[in-house]
Structure 1
Amino acid sequence: MTTQSSQNKKTPSRLKVFFGGYSNKGIKDENQDAFAALVPDANELQAKGAIATLADGVSSASKAAEAAQLAVTQFINEYYATPETWSTQKSAAKVLTSLNQWLFSQGGMFDEQHQQWLTTFSSLILKSTTGYVFHVGDSRICKYREQHLEQITRDHNRKSAGNHAVLTRALGADNRLKVDVHQVDLQVGDIFVLTCDGVHDFIPNKVLTRFLDELPAQPSNADLERISEKIVERAIQEGSDDNVSCLLVHVNTIPQRKLDEIERDLLDKTIPPALDVGMKLDGYVVRKVIHASIRSHLYLVEHEQNKLTYVLKAPSANFADDSIYLQGFMREAWVGERINHANVMRISQGEANSKFLYHLCEFVQGQTLSEWMHDNPKPSIAQVRDIVRQIIAALRAFQRLELVHRDLKPDNVMIDAFGQIKLIDYGTVFVASLDENQENIQETVPQGSLNYIAPETLLEMKADYRSDLFSLGVICYEMLTGELPYKPMKRAEVTFSDYGEWQYRSSKQFRSELPLWLDLALEKSTAADPRSRFQAFSELQAELSKPNSSAIEEYQRQPLIQRNPVKFWQGVSALLAIALIASLLN
């Protein structure tokens, strides 16, 4: 396998946008409008997107100008400070909630005495092939495509006596923020128009369209700024009695890569050949071959200069043509550099200029949980509780970053001599921010390991933190019983069509001394339907810590057919057999 020369590689299309805006105080003494826009570097552009935002301070508020300026600058700064793994909507929602609470705390209510920090807010985040709109108030975002201007946002105002518009929603007006959220598909050539009411209340769409028609097919930032200024000046000429601001956003290119282009990028580096003790790779000396399989190779290595020890992980050459696997392998290192938790194995990418595909993992001395279970066939509840507690701590770290492990199983959990747990091997991890992009190869098969994979992933190709909770429930069950909560499946048997086809097997079948409250907790954590499971890791942890008397009472009130359908039908069969024998004797 060889790398392609840079001369022969066609540069893949990426999102490329241009901005241009203009603002004027108009006939007023102070300009209480503000706008801002930013295109970050390539890495942040892929994970977080580009932003354009406009705010119009509420003129009756004593700090209108400050509120508008704070809203646009803080939103952009804080949005890019959120984890790169978060989805666009989660990142924006967190920032807007925090921003609104601060503004509201400064005064905020809609009354004569406390209108201090109030502003409208309209923002467009462009990421991959999608535009994400977040809107509060009566500033406006429109889309201009193929000479047609379409309003995307809804004005939050009402007409009062004298036909004056009264604002009904603004940042800082209420501690319970209600934001309009929309998604729009992006096309090359789209122009998004962000305006305050001082512009769009005085310029009809047909006039605005004529200005936009003056733009060249591929406008520069200067072109967009020039047209924005002309729009603002026209609003003033038309008698605008407010501040006047316009921000234009042009979509120059969007990701349109074909599958072979994406695969070519993935194959840009060479998979290392199988290594042996004493061999070197980028200055790392192999001290031990830890594991070799058809999927990957693990080596204990030592850096020849700093003498630090790592585990070097490289994909197997068997997967050289498997783009989904290679994408997951690269994603694992990307996530590993962004998650920092005592119960998660640290991972970093290999040497930056290396031609080889591999990454470096924290060396964890210990055994897999599978091996531990073999050595401890009937562990105490306390032992299992401690292990589950640590796994939950790790999974919470994933959840906070909007990550889903998706391949939680005993072989992917390490336990050292002191009982500390480390989650390893998260090459199938789901990343919310990357899932929004078109630059990734879409998965066509469920990700995970049979008998640990959540039913919703098999049925619907969906996974969230509850899917990891299901897998953890299966592991907990297996540690206690040595069995699985459902009849073990072979891949050829995965033909279930609904959740009702998964039939839970009581843990007391395999260890009769286990308490009922524990079995009920295991049953709920491994419920096939995610809606019937615990809805938080903390619920599972609490249920394993002390008996839930209400759950036991509810269970005991159920008819036998619900509590133990197998026992119920065995009893029915026995009664039928007795009745049959009696009829024959008569």
Structure 2
Amino acid sequence: MNDPSPLPPSSDLSGRTLGGYAVLRKIGSGGMADVYLALQQSLERQVALKVLHSQLADNPSYVERFHNEARAAASLVHPNIVQIYEVGEADGHHFIAQEFVAGKNLDQILKRQGALPPGTVLDILRQVVSALCQAAEAGIVHRDIKPANILLTPTGVVKVADFGLARILSVDTKTLTEVGVALGTPLYMSPEQIEGRPVDARSDIYSLGVTCYHLLSGEPPHSGETALAIAVGHINREPTPLGTMQVGLPEDFVAIVHRMMAKQPADRCQSPSELLNDLKTLASSAAKEGWAADSNEWSLLEWISADGNRSAASTQLGQLMREQARLESNRWNWQGILGMLAIALVAGAVIAWAIRPRFVLEGTPPAAIPKRDSPAAQLFHAKMTESESAWQAVWKYFPEADPYFEQLAQQGLVRHFLFDSPQYVQSLAWAQKLADEGQTDESLRAFALAAQFVSLEQLGREREAREVYSQLTPAMKDQLNRFENQLYESMQGSLSRLGE
């Protein structure tokens, strides 16, 4: 359980080039590696470059473990997992190039906001479990699930980072654990991992349960002045019931979290897919109670993972596709036409109301929008409501909150005016505001420029649209393609109409 002796700091590689990557600046440091923001010169995209500490590079066991990390993580391709691009060595430096995720991790959000609302935690949880389903299929255990390794992108997508402690179950890692590196973080480690017993996906479920407990209550279930004291708590003590830590939490959700934290692996969910299926049931009841989104809004990948049986899911998908084809073939029956006419009349009235003259940034007063307990909860409400006033309520109700939440809300407002209730003058105005604020944030600036481009093209201002598009770098376009699919496709449509 003892951590290795602190290592002397490695030299800063900022300004150098490693194997085709221009190192821009250091953005973090861990037990094994320093992390840099770098530019992959061949594709002109930003990446996170993990460089093994120079003091460890001379130890074959460390180097082997470092490369095993890359091989394990690179085999996992999933929208909720940070993607590994390349593992290599240059000038004596061993490195891993991986997806750079703009945004914050849950540890940072916890320190700023404290406990999160249950709807937000459920939304985060289902995405992490979906990632663990993919890892379990590959026989990989993360071994270090914790808030700091769960990233939240500006679009609300959750990314599980640092499979650096992951292990392919069929590989004997005895020599790698003998070098004295502590596998995992005691605050979130499972009892079996602390005791050095074999671990599987149920260990990750335990760590994720501890993480959810922390997110819902604002405090971890076990604490202490030393790692040993925390470890003893995980092994021998039951946590304070979550329902007494935070009054008003949904009982079904509390029960799931406590089951995830069961001391014995046999008492937990036996696989991530089983847990995801439980969350799907919970989401359905949560939607009826009004505290979270229904599972109908989950992605197809999450539905398939929750099923636990790919063949059954494929059969269900086939049935859905056949039903869709049947509906398509009958779409021109008279009843359908009459229905479409009725919808058109209503839509015409709504559009007439929506385009009434008003000041560009005036907006709708959020008086009818209920105030939530925190900016994160208000943001989640806006995401579920998808209205102009709901997005604006985030910063109007919480003017002193972290500006990050206001930026997320303003991006939601831009999407609302682009896609939900098309008002391109409005989307252009808000996108220009974000562009001015995002001069030093490439991901925010990419979003703002793309939204400006689409808005200008839709408004027929072709020359201005081309000028804005010219400011988008290949790295920005790649980031939009990965994180802003709807906006990226709209941008491609605008390009096509412009004859580009």
* TM-score where L is the length of structure 2: 0.50
Please tell me whether Structure 1 or Structure 2 has the larger radius of gyration of its CA atoms: 1
User: Which is richer in helix?
Assistant: 2
* TM-score where L is the length of structure 1: 0.43
